[in-house]
A and B are shown apart, each in its own frame.
Chain A
Amino acid sequence: MSRAIRLVLAALWLATLHIGAIGAGFFSPSDYAEQNRSFPFAPPTRLHFVDPAGRFHVRPFVCRWSAHPGTVVYSEECDQPFPLQFFVTGARYRLFGMVQSHRHLFGVASPAHIYWMGTDDFGRDQFSRFLYGARLSLFSGLFACAISLTLGIIFGTLAGYYRRSADSVIMGTAELSLALPWLYLLLVVRALLPLSTSPSAVFLTVVAIIGIVGWARPARLIRNTVLTAGAREYVLLAKSFGGSDLHVLLTHIMPQIRPVAMTQAPLLIARYILAEVILSFLGLGVAEPTASWGTLLKSVQQYSILSSYWWMCLPASLLLPTIMSYMMISINRSQAEISPA
């Protein structure tokens, strides 16, 4: 597969994911927190075109599941087809966080349910939780990346441009940051936060801390770029003609930094999405019932779930192409820098 095709695929996947996340309320058939306690660990709903009598249906339909009492074993009852319906009414949500709506892209009539990715241990729709979770996980990736990169650019530039003591102090602090056991730091911060702090504020704090402690790596790269750029003749010439530091930095150094930052950004986003997963894995992530990819993956660490309910791994399988897409974009950026043609 050529580089261009891979890049297009990666971009398409990320675009789909981001659109799905922004419009999660509309694209998901249920509310992410809605528990259906009669259907824990229900397998993914199957879409049918042919009914038990052999009749073909143009409009696909689903069958209702019936649970065997006291178990999580289900069987499909196809005596009555439930056609897939579009633009159905359901749980209320805010589209793009603003417009109140109860219209959903698709759904089926009760008592049937539509669970594309099955349900979790509380009978919550995994697909809806995946979409809502994408909001939080993608946002935490972007948010932490923005913090890291901004701090990295500021401190990297200062260290590389002014060198000497500024360089020693900033890079010394960077080394210290890299050596910091940030997981313990987060555990301590979480334990010290007042209980009245809202779960979203706790999560934002935790993500911000990750972003802040992650400044060191981009700062190192930026510093090296600035060091190299600062030694270029046109920069020295600009300085000798009396160009101010700000002018030199903005006009001559920044264009050198931009490609490095652009290559680093997708890598950092991917890294921070994974960090969110790790945080939730350790119980430091967003609190229930809010969905994030990390909370979705948390249950898969249990042997019993891994061995019995394969659909619980679906969010993990979708995390992989997401991370790879970001990597792909980063690789493409760096290759484009090496061979612009």
Chain B
Amino acid sequence: MLLKLCLSKSAKVSFMVLLSCTLASAAADDHAVSSYQPGRVGGRLVVAQRAEPKTLNPVVALEAVSREVISLITASLIDIDQQSFQPVAALAKSWTKSPDGKQLTVQLRHGLRFSDGYPFNADDVAFTFLVHEDESIHSPQRELLIVAGKPIVVTKLDAYTVRFDFAAPYSVGERLLAGIGILPRHLLEKSYQEHRLAQEWGLIAAPERVVGLGPFLLKEYVPGERLVLGKNPYYWKTDAQSVRLPYLDEIVFAFTASENAQVLRFLSGEADLIENLSPENFLALKAEEAHRGFRLFDVGPGLEYTFILFNQNDLGSGNASIQGKQEWFRRRAFRQAISAAVDRDAIVQLVYRGMASPIWAHVTEGNKPWFNDKLPRTPRSLTRARDLLRAEGFSWSSENRLLDPSKHEVSFSILTSAGNSQREKISTLVQDDLKQIGITASIVSLEFRSLTDRILNTYDYEAAVMTLASGDGDPNSEMNIWTLNGSTHLWNLAGKSAEGWEREIDQLMRRQLVSVSFEERRRLYGRVQELVAVNLPIICLASPHVLVGAARRVQNLHPSILRPYALSNADALFLEGPGGGR
């Protein structure tokens, strides 16, 4: 009573908030403890970023930049350990799989709260998966949540237990839960019912509407300039000394127009972190590393792979000129000859300045659990290329021009993305390599959207130099590329009747999906790599290293080859020194 009398109205509100925070803190008995070295609270980390996110809505976000920011605002049931690639507990305290691999039961942490203070429970999990599986929402993750043609069934068993039922045994059910940020049902259910969910959490959304369980929350977005994330006061991780994470007060994504501007900003000390340095800039900065306040990390070959793609789509009655050339592109020996003629070592040395690995299939050395190290590393051989072509009936004119069996000169165009200097350089090297076996290749640099439109929609291209990057090391993340009806089955999107080896790859990928033994999956995926290396649906060339630059004051930094390369443990990053200045 005395207390009630003494408190003014505003003080009462403050008191209630304080009380609820204290209770929340006390109730969060299931908080996770970070394994990173304890650090200092406070400070602002500035990340130099080339592109701006398009949205903060995890349900519709497609591109890597948006997903990176979203990963800091939201949290998943399970995370993938950046070093071991194994699933680790996040919002889920533990999980159990049924012996037949068709059921996964997840225990959630108790007492967790969203960044607006609202409690988290199984309803939020059920709501999140309901939204992702809804066909009308067009979530890019929906494809992964369909097993044996049926969506995963998510059942709330109690407030903190959720069961996932798969239509068929699912090899790595728990991995599916990684990367799907849990949504606040209390805020988004109404929008979902009114079919407005896809429009929620755009960049112009009010910061207090963007709520998650991640270490940070949206504070400010200035188009073309910066996006500022602030600390989530309800975050569910502490360090070993029971200090609530994250340490940083703010993360600022400072947008720059070009990679050069990004590097200059980093060099001047205006930015603390660059996550994707080019090899040229890495080397240029390396010369200054010893006497400047930054460190550079060469994490090794990432999951990204660059390749040559030939158009093998069924064009129907379309472009006769391309159809004529498809006679060559569909010959395995022709693709093998191209592969033999390309100087991968030169690509590694001249384009990536040694900071890449030559590859003969799509799985890179960096993906240690799945990399098939028994694949032959066929060295460049113009003689072998010529022999392969000769055996197929190709010949050479007096001017050393390659002629097909019908005596037509072999020439084609290679599309590349204008402004991407690495892919442009690779195209130039490939062009020169092919000239040595009598093939005239012309390079056509196109604006990126025009390029992807030709490859994915109109099929109006002959060959292209492209890059793909897996989001995860697990083979399941490549299902859309290697299965026959996959949305990124690039070389044959239009549905040409598949060859035997293509069907075998499709079956192997589907078998590994439902196999519960890691060894068996590894064997199956190893065979997929063999088939890719021999049949060359895409001619893999090189896998660049992941290169990161960071101010020395940034501590607990452990860059990895999984995205986000350096911010995966953003909750444990801290800044050293007074004010953290360089």
Q: A195-B461, A289-B432 known; A304 and B444 CB under 8 Å?
A: no
A-side contacts of B321, CB under 8 Å = 194, 196
Residues of B within 8 A of A191 (CB): 446-447, 450
Given A191-B450, A195-B460, CB of A287 within 8 Å of CB of B442: yes
Residues of A within 8 A of B429 (CB): 35, 122
Residues of A within 8 A of B343 (CB): 37
Chain B residues near A35: list those with CB within 8 A.
Answer: 429, 432
Cβ proximity bits A178-207 to B, threshold 8 Å, 1 near / 0 not:
000000000100110011101100000000
Contact of B155 with A by CB under 8 A: no
| Residue A284, interface by CB 8 Å | yes
What is the CA–CA distance of A301 and B258 in the complex, to the nearest angstrom? 10
Partner of B446, one of A33, A123, A190, A307: A190
CB-CB under 8 A for A304 and B280, given A195-B444, A287-B443: yes
Question: Could you give, for residues 61-97 of chain B, a 1 whenever the CB lies within 8 Å of some chain A CB and a 0 otherwise?
Answer: 0000000000000000000000000000000000000
Would A196 and B432 count as touching, CB distance under 8 A? no
Return the contact of A288 from the options B281, B413, B424, B447 (Cβ within 8 A).
Answer: B424
Complex-state Cα separation, A295 to B7, whole angstroms: 74
Q: How many residues of A contact B (CB 8 A)?
A: 31
Alpha-carbon gap, A217 to B446, bound state (A): 30
For B461, give the chain A residue with the smallest CB separation. A195
Residue A255 CB within 8 A of the other chain: no
| Given the contacts A196-B413, A288-B424, A307-B284, A37 and B350 also touching, CB distance less than 8 Å | yes
Whether the Cβ atoms of B260 and A303 lie closer than 8 Å is yes
From B263, B415, B462, A303 is in contact (CB under 8 Å) with: B263
Flag A265-303 by CB within 8 Å of B: 1 or 0 each. Answer: 000000000000000001110011100000000010111
Q: Is A2 an interface residue (CB 8 A)?
A: no
| B427 part of interface (Cβ distance < 8 Å) | yes
Interface size class of B (residues with CB under 8 A): 35 or more
| B379 interface residue (CB < 8 Å to A) | no
Knowing A70-B354, A196-B321, A302-B280, the reply to whether A37 touches B349 (Cβ < 8 A) is yes
B413 touches A187 (CB 8 A): no
Task: Name the B residues within 8 Å of A301 (CB-CB).
Answer: 260
Cβ B284 vs Cβ A121 within 8 A? no
Determine if A40 is an interface residue (Cβ-Cβ < 8 Å). yes
| B418 contacts the other chain (CB 8 A) | yes
Chain B nearest CB from A211 CB (Å) reads: 22
CA of A199 to CA of B411, assembled, Å:
13
Which A residues are CB-close (under 8 A) to B418?
A: 282-284
Q: Counting chain B CB atoms within 10 Å of each CB, which of A187, A190, A299, A303 scores highest?
A: A303
**B interface: dominant SS:** helix
Query: Is B354 a contact partner of A37 (Cβ separation < 8 A)?
Result: no
Q: Does any Cβ of A come within 8 Å of B557's Cβ?
A: no
Candidates A40, A194, A302; contact of B421 at CB < 8 Å: A302
Min distance, Cβ A124 to any Cβ of chain B, angstroms: 10
Q: Is the CB of B445 within 8 A of A304?
A: no
Tell me the smallest distance from the CB of B252 to a CB of chain A, in Å.
Answer: 22
- Residue A319 interfacial (CB < 8 Å): no
Task: Closest A residue to B447 by CB, please name it.
Answer: A187
Q: Is B278 in contact with chain A by the CB < 8 A criterion?
A: yes
Cα(A260)–Cα(B278), bound, Å: 50
- Tell whether A305 is near chain B: CB-to-CB under 8 Å: yes
Give B407-442 as 1s and 0s: 1 = Cβ < 8 Å from A's Cβ atoms.
000000101001101001101110110000000001
- A240 in contact (CB, < 8 A): no
Chain B residues closer than 8 Å to A110, beta-carbon distance: none
Q: Which residues of B contact A165 (CB under 8 A)?
A: none
Contact with B along A40-82 (1 / 0, CB 8 A): 1000000000000000000000000000001010000000000
Using A40-B350, A304-B278 as known contacts, say yes or no to A289 and B445 having CB atoms under 8 A apart: no
The closest CB in chain B to the CB of A283 belongs to: B418
Are A288 and B444 in touch, CB under 8 angstroms? no
How far in angstroms is the closest Cβ of chain B from A119?
11
B283 an interface residue at 8 Å Cβ cutoff? yes
Q: Which of B456-491 contact A (CB under 8 A)?
A: 460-462
Known contacts A37-B349, A70-B349, A121-B425; is-contact A304 B461 (Cβ 8 Å): no
Mask, B349-370, CB within 8 Å of A = 1, is: 1100110000000000000000
Q: Assess whether A288 is in contact with B284, with CB atoms less than 8 Å apart.
A: no
Q: Does B148 contact A (CB under 8 A)?
A: no
The answer to whether B346 has its CB under 8 Å from any CB of chain A is yes
Q: Give per-residue flags for A7-39: 1 if the beta carbon is below 8 A from chain B beta carbons, else 0.
A: 000000000000000000000000001010100
Q: Do A289 and B428 touch (CB < 8 A)?
A: yes
A249 to B263, CA, bound (A): 59
- CB nearest neighbor in A for B280: A304
Contact between chains at A195 and B424 (CB < 8 Å): no
A339 at interface, CB cutoff 8 A = no
Complex Cα spacing A256 to B137, Å: 69
Q: Which residue of A lies closest to B260 (CB)?
A: A303
- Residue of B259, B353, B419 touching A283 (CB-CB under 8 A): B419
Query: In the complex, what residues of A have CB within 8 A of residue B287's CB?
Result: 308
The interface residues of chain A lying within 8 Å CB-to-CB of B431 are 288-289
- Residues from chain A with a CB closer than 8 A to the CB of B425 are 121-122
A179 to B428, CA, bound (A): 36
Known: A191-B450, A195-B444. A305 touches B461 (CB 8 A): no
Residues of B within 8 A of A187 (CB): 447
Complex CA–CA separation, A190 to B419 (angstroms): 15
Please tell me if B23 contacts chain A, counting CB pairs below 8 Å.
Answer: no
Residues of A within 8 A of B19 (CB): none
How far does the Cβ of B206 sit from chain A's closest Cβ, in whole Å? 35
In whole angstroms, how far apart are the Cα atoms of A122 and B349 in the complex? 10
Q: How far is the CB of B311 from chain A (nearest CB, A)?
A: 10
The answer on a CB contact under 8 Å between B281 and A304 is yes
- Output the least CB separation between A143 and chain B (Å): 21
* Complex interface: chain B residues within 8 A of A199 (CB): 442-443
Q: Do residues A195 and B264 form an inter-chain contact, with CB atoms below 8 A?
A: no
Q: Which partner residue on chain A sits nearest B346 by CB separation? A: A37
Given A33-B432, A40-B350, A187-B447, decide whether A288 and B421 contact each other with a Cβ distance below 8 A. Answer: no
The closest CB in chain A to the CB of B351 belongs to: A121
What is the distance, in angstroms, from A89's C-beta to the closest C-beta of chain B? 20
Q: Which 9 A-B pairs have the closest CB atoms?
A: A283-B418, A304-B280, A304-B284, A303-B260, A191-B450, A283-B445, A288-B428, A195-B413, A287-B443
14 A-B residue contacts at CB 8 Å? A37-B343, A70-B354, A121-B350, A121-B425, A122-B428, A195-B460, A198-B442, A199-B443, A282-B418, A283-B418, A283-B445, A299-B421, A307-B284, A308-B284
5 more contacts with CB within 8 A, not counting A191-B447, A283-B418, A287-B443, are A37-B349, A40-B350, A191-B450, A287-B442, A303-B264
